[in-house]
Structure 1
Amino acid sequence: MLSYVLITPVKNEAKFLYTLANCIVNQTILPKVWVIVDGNSSDNSVEIIHELCRTYQWIHLKKQETITKQKNHLNFSYGVYEGYEFIKDTCIKSNLNYDFVGKIDADIILPTDFFEKLITEFINDPFLGVASGVSYDLKENDLINYDNLNLKKCVKKNYLPQELPDKRLYRRECLENVGGFPLSKYSPDTVLLTKIKLRGWDIKTFDNVYVCNLRDDTGTERNLWKSSKSYGNNRYYLDYSPLLVLANALYLAAKKPYYPGFSYLFGYISSCLRRDEKIEDLEIRNYFRCKRLKEIMGIVLSRKHQILSK
């Protein structure tokens, strides 16, 4: 039977850990190893993880070794990176094999067949490298029902066209093909998915699989402005083409509440004016500076041709 392992980086997630654990231990297919990487929590997260480890031998606590003080994604990158290295060592020592690697956050609800459904999609498509479900924000915290969650009371998360919900399952061969999880100051998931795409693997989101986020941290105007501005900063770091940035800004500004498009553009321009650091990976920079824009233009022209030919 095909199997998988899981990584969950946490910091001060005691509020959500029991709910997440209930989702995982009730999966129709259990993970071979689940490592929870603690990034120096100051609440009782570690105590909860120790309790879970005592109850389930396949759950492990890993203390994150490298923790930076910078307010970017590098700490998260180290948590995922160290978690995967821990899993590889654990599987070698215990003579365990696995076919897929999952990365999930602590503040989510998963239906009990979440991983079974994704694994089925991998079986049906040998070229599928990354699979994800549709992501929702849970607005009513009392709706903790894994299999009968009323999605009408949830809000579907919106992503830019080139993005993907971040609760994913990776084919092991695909992940090893790109050198594992990258260490990146900004947008490590985008860097990873781009490398996977450039090596010819399929990346898909499946509408019959969903995940719900328990923490709604983008609801206020302040947080939404801040997160959108951060997107702009990140796009500068990845060396996005200015035309691609403008297209994304217009996409965001075309929908309510409209202003994220402006804060996104402001973030990019402010990084330009400061001449902030850019990613050193030339493969990534070349893709977002040149190739991605050509891809989008090809898609637009193809759709225009389809409309005119009807």
Structure 2
Amino acid sequence: MRYRSSKSWGYIIVTPAKNEEENLPLLARSVINQSVRPRLWVIVDDNSNDRTGEIAEDLAREHGWIKVIHLKDRAVGYDLRYRYSDVVRRGFGVAISYAIGKRIPFGYIGVLDADFVLERRFFEKLIRAFHENERLGILSGGGYYIRNGRLVWEGTDPARPKGSPRLFRRECFREVGGYRLGPSPDTVSYYLARLLGWETAQVVDAIAVQLRETEGRFGFLRGYEMLGWSNYKLGTSFTSLLARSVILFPSNPLKAYGLVAGYIKAFKLGEKRLENIALREFIRTDMSLASNLKKLERIRNARKLVPVRESELRG
């Protein structure tokens, strides 16, 4: 591995946006106010039928480092299993080509969903972490929600980056084959990076406030059915998935049911699993009981670093 981007501060980001007229202005304000701004921000308007495209164009007219792509391919519905990865992949293609063509220097490339608001030093914190450890290939911030006026960390494994907002080191992005087309692209790239010897992490105190819950765009039942379906495709064992559903059940039975139902549906349909056997076995091992217990311990330790005051948020 080569670490040519180790001291770079330049980064480019891609945002997929479908019918995000309420959230996009909030996200944009937090990106524009970053202590370290992106060199290029590509917003992909995915067949929106509200004012998303218009808002994005207004942003591009005001800021030369913002570019907009309008997809008009008559996409039916919004299927996270395939559509999301296709939209983001197209955005990355345009962003990288434009950056190289215009000789825009960048050491990192990332995806930023439209339903987030970032603290002012969000990307600065991620890039500092990259500088401190040249073996880091993928980083995200910590995911937070606002509950009763307080920031609440979602409590996910701090060794595993969130799908968004995340940054790839440029060399790692290339080595994992760019942004993957297909189900769970962020999960696949995470495991591929680890398989190739890269380290990954969350910068838990880099605050990214999510304006709607993960998997909540489609309703929790459908969202978790898709998650169960993806877990089957990735090679997760049914025992491991069932254990996760048992943990989920007390707080949200609908999520637990959807997770199992999606997995079983994929099994009955005979969906093909990952062809990369080494990667599939790596994922299966990582989802074992022993591995999951280690993740819970990391989550407990990470809570000591979690900011809880609303006043910590700057955007």
TM-score (norm 1): 0.82
State the partner residue of 1:119. Answer: 127
Question: Is the aligned partner of 1:24 residue 2:26?
Answer: no
What does residue range 64-213 of structure 1 map to in structure 2 within 5 Å? 64=71, 68-69=75-76, 71-139=79-147, 152=150, 154-159=151-156, 164-165=161-162, 166-184=164-182, 186-213=183-210
In the alignment, the residues of structure 1 paired with residue 76 and residue 94 of structure 2 have an alpha-carbon distance, to the nearest angstrom, of 23
Shift of residue 90, structure 1, vs aligned partner: 0.8
Could you say which residue in structure 2 is the equivalent of 1:236?
Answer: 232
Report whether the alignment pairs 1:225 with 2:225. no
What RMSD in Å do the two structures reach over aligned CA positions?
2.9
Query: Greater shift after overlay, 239-248 or 74-83?
Result: 239-248
Of structures 1 and 2, the one scoring higher in RCO (CA 8 A, sep 6+) is 2
In 2, the alpha carbon distance for the partners of 1:275 and 1:292 equals 23
For residues 215 and 299 of structure 1, the distance between their equivalents in structure 2, rounded to whole angstroms, comes to: 26
The count of aligned residue pairs is 288
1:16-63 deviation line (CA, Å, top 9, x unaligned): 111111111111111111000111111111111111111111100113
- State whether residues 103 and 169 of structure 1, in contact with CA within 8 Å, keep that contact through their aligned partners in structure 2: yes
Residue 209 (structure 1) shift: 1.1
Q: 1:182, 1:191 within 8 Å by CA — same for their partners in 2?
A: yes
Larger Rg computed on CA atoms: 1
- Give the alignment of 1:26-65 within 5 angstroms: 26-64=33-71
Question: Which is worse superposed, 104-113 or 280-289?
Answer: 280-289
SS of residue matched to 1:95: coil
| Unpaired runs of at least 5, structure 1 | 141-149, 305-310
Q: 1:121 to 1:160 in 2, by over 3 A?
A: closer
Q: Distance in 1 between matches of 2:233 and 2:260?
A: 14
Q: Please, which moves more after superposition, 259-268 or 115-124? A: 259-268
Task: Provide the C-alpha distance between the structure 2 equivalents of 1:121 and 1:162, rounded to a whole number of angstroms.
Answer: 13
Gaps of 5+ in 2: 1-7, 298-315
d(CA) in 2 for partners of 1:244, 1:98: 39
Structure 1: how far apart are the matches of 2:180 and 2:267?
Answer: 24
CA distance in structure 1 between the aligned counterparts of 2:35 and 2:287, rounded to whole angstroms: 41
